[in-house]
Structures are given as structure tokens and as C-alpha cells.
Amino acid sequence: MNSSLEDKKNQLLAKLRKQGISDEAVLEALAEIPREDFIADYLRAQAYENAALPIESEQTISQPFIVAYMTQELRVDKSHKVLEVGTGSGYQAAVLAKLCKRLFTIERHMPLHKTAEEMFKKLRLFNVTTLFGNGMRGWKEQEPFDRIMVTAAGEDIPDELLYQLKDGGILIIPVGGQEETQHIIRVTRHGDDFDVKTLLPVKFVPLLSGIVHSS
């Protein structure tokens, strides 16, 4: 990494601390994963601005603060099996992979799925397993999960994801339509009860069913 990107990364991490990201393991994962590798070359200089950026298939890589915040709120540890719905660029998955035991990630756009898979290999993140499909249904062959993170906004919380959580497990998902204010919701499973907490207002691309084979 050239020194100006390194400087910008350090400035961004300092800003995230000021904004309330205090989990050292999360900050370390953000320091280790090269965000510039998950975006197009023409955007490289903006890799460490605290902004969402466009990726292929008209999707976005989330703002670093939101990645850090959602990761912190998920309370991941090294023993956890984690599912991410919405691989996108693969950046959030790479951050999670540093913090958990095994990370499963599902994407509905083939070009994004393929590019992200290559990145996980390049970064030697061998605990990541990818799937091309509709993540709203979760991953039946791999459930139950200690943690689930959805990185696209649902109109509501898909039941199938709730029931793929282990007892005591946590799901984080942005909820709300494209025209309304969305919020990050954190759900904690206690048996067949689900404790729901509303966190920050956000803006995410939609969680959609069906799969898309080309860009």
C-alpha cells in the first residue's frame, strides 16, 4: 500500500474510534483487510473515505463506519460459525472472516459472487465458503449459525433466517423499503422468542429474491 493510502487508513480508524467503535478486534480486522482491493481501480484513492462506493451489478460496498458498527454489534468471536447474506464486493465477509471460525456468504449476482470468491483466495481467507443463490432462505445445509448478518435491506426480517440461528444467536439486518427510513435491527434468539432491538437509521440497497446470472 502506498503511504498516502496508509495515512488515510489510519485517519479513518481514528475517526471510527471517535464515532464509538471501541472493539479492538473489529478495529484490527479493519486495519488488516485492504478495502482498496475490493473496489475498482478508479476508486482506489477513495478507499479510506468514510463513504459507500459503487461496485459491479449496480450494488455498493458499505460505508466503513457501517461495516464497523454492524460487525461490533454482531459480537462475533473465534468460535463462531457466521452467515452473511449479500456478499457484494466481499469486504464485509473478509472483515468477519478475521473474527470468526467459519464464514458462509451468499450473493444473488453471479459477477459479484465470482469476483469476491477470487478475492478470498487472493487474501488467503480459507475459512470463507461462498454460495451463488438467494440468501433470504439462508443456507439449510449449513445451519444453525451463531451469528447472521444481512447486508441488504429487507422489507421485513425473513423468518427462515431467524430459525437458522442457534439459541442465543444474533442476527443483524437493515429493515425498511427504499423510499422510507431504514434501520439496523438486532435480533437475539432465546428459544422460540426473539428479542428485537432497533439501532441506527441507514440506507442500504434492497434485499431481493431470485438470482441474476450476468451484470
Name the residues that contact ligand SAH, by CB under 6 A: 59-62, 85-86, 88-89, 91-92, 106-109, 112, 134-136, 151-152, 205, 207-209
- Amino acid found at 213: H
- Residue 62 catalytic? yes
**CA-to-CA separations, 85 to 17, 24, 25, in angstroms, rounded:** 26, 25, 22
Q: Residue 26 CB, nearest distance to ligand SAH (Å)?
A: 14
Name the residue nearer to ligand SAH (CB basis): 58 or 193: 58
Characterize the bridge pairing of strands 128-132 and 53-54: unpaired
Considering the candidates 3, 22, 57, 62, report the single residue annotated as catalytic: 62
Residue nearest to ligand SAH (CB): 88
d(C-alpha 5, C-alpha 128), whole Å:
26
Q: How many residues does the chain have?
A: 215
Name the residue nearer to ligand SAH (CB basis): 149 or 187: 149
Q: Residue 3 CB, nearest distance to ligand SAH (Å)?
A: 26
d(C-alpha 47, C-alpha 137), whole Å:
32
Name the residue nearer to ligand SAH (CB basis): 180 or 195: 180
Contact in structure between 209 and 155 (CB atoms under 8 Å)? no
Active site residues: 62
